Structure 1
Amino acid sequence: MLLWALLLTLISQGAGAGAWDDPVCTEGVVSVTRGAPAKMTCNISNPFLHVSVCLRAPGWGDCQRGGDCRAVFTQAAPGCSSGGGWRLCVEGPSARMVTEEARDSQAGEYRWTLVGGQTEQLCTTLNVSEPPEQPSTPPWGTQDPRPAQDLHSAQDPSPGRLHVALILVPMLLCILALGGLQFWRRNLGHPMHVQFT
């Protein structure tokens, strides 16, 4: 009986000191275009003691089995460091690795070795693809991307402008006619004399 009590005490003390890490990391495949930012994160229940990240070229077998893996970071927590175009920051139970501009040389399988209450290994794959091709601009200038009917309608005046024009044009014609009539009436009483010398 005393042996069982001692065993339960040891188990409960060990469970409190070394609770499971329960890692939650960026999983599967992260796909970005070349030059775009990329981010991978890992969070655990306990503070990190150490974080290592290494890179395997795409298609080199199972990431979990080790083998040919180039070290990107080996860092005792906490702190931040930079290398290979990446920045790794580890603080408490959180680790974040970011790059502002993904490059082809960064593509591959990243194996994270996380040391907290336990040691875990997790893998994330980064795919870096070509940026979408931008439509080329012809040498004579840019083309309007709208369809032909949109271009035609863009050249037609709007109904509001047409309404204003229908009011202003007759008013201007009336003013010109009245001005011409006034000019003719003034000159009616004074015949024009032309002298030849």
Structure 2
Amino acid sequence: MPPWALLLMLISISQGAGAGDWDHPACTEGVVSVTRGAPAEMTCNISNPFSKVSVCLRGPGQRHCWPVSTQAAPGCSSGGGWRLCVQGRSAKMVTEEARDSQAGQYMWTLVGRQTEQEFTTLNVSEPPEQPSTPSWGTQDPLSSAQDPPPGRLHVALLLVPMLLCVLAQGGPQF
């Protein structure tokens, strides 16, 4: 066999064997928006099993990316209000109650066959304002706190009919 044929055969074998080896990350894209106190979730999946996942956070207006969590596969770790679980080809980071301090850009460093970096931004906003109820609307209408004192009620019940009688007769005459 000529040497060039052997070289061509080795190239085609190496290309065919490596076709499925590359990682193709599919992570939560763009911006995730939640209200403060609501759960938030971000995920990354790749075509080969993870060996390690690291996540850092760059808060609004910050230049440095602060480590949030690192987890070798398989397993889970917690910190900063987050729980990161890595199993096979999936990594999921979840918080039960999003906080303002968790807002910002997350950089995922995914280690499988290669090392890939992906970015997701988390926005944490104010919860919607609840309609306020006037103070008079929160009390029981039959509550004794709203009833006039008994002495005044009796006086009013006596004076009103007398006043009506006087006015019906043409008012007081002097």
d(CA) in 1 for partners of 2:102, 2:130: 24
Residue 24 (str. 1) matches residue 20 (str. 2)? no
Aligned to 1:119: 115
TM normalised by structure 1 equals 0.64
Q: C-alpha offsets along residues 139-188 of structure 1, whole Å, 9 cap, x if unaligned?
A: 11249xxxxxxxxxxxxxxxxxxxxxxxxxxxxxxxxxxxxxxxxxxxxx
Which one of 3, 13, 21 corresponds to residue 17 of structure 2? 13
d(CA) in 2 for partners of 1:78, 1:127: 29
d(CA) in 2 for partners of 1:138, 1:31: 32
1:17-96 alignment to 2 at 5 Å?
Answer: 19-60=21-62, 68-96=64-92
Aligned to 2:98: 102
Report which of the two structures shows the higher radius of gyration computed on alpha carbons.
1
Runs of 4+ residues deviating >2 angstroms: 6-16
Which SS does the other structure have where 2:69 is aligned? strand
Letter in 2 for 1:29: V
TM normalised by structure 2 equals 0.73
Which one of 2, 6, 10 corresponds to residue 2 of structure 1? 6
d(CA) in 1 for partners of 2:24, 2:17: 19
Aligned to 1:190: none
Which SS does the other structure have where 1:42 is aligned? strand
Which SS does the other structure have where 1:3 is aligned? helix
User: How large is the Cα RMSD of the aligned pairs?
Assistant: 1.6
Aligned to 1:195: none
How many correspondences in the alignment? 135
Structure 2: gaps (5+ residues): 140-174
Task: Give the helix-richer structure, 1 or 2.
Answer: 1
* 2:70–2:77 contact (8 Å) kept in structure 1: no
d(CA) in 2 for partners of 1:120, 1:59: 24
Aligned to 1:162: none
Which SS does the other structure have where 2:14 is aligned? helix
Task: Give the strand-richer structure, 1 or 2.
Answer: 2
The sequence identity of aligned pairs, in percent, is: 76
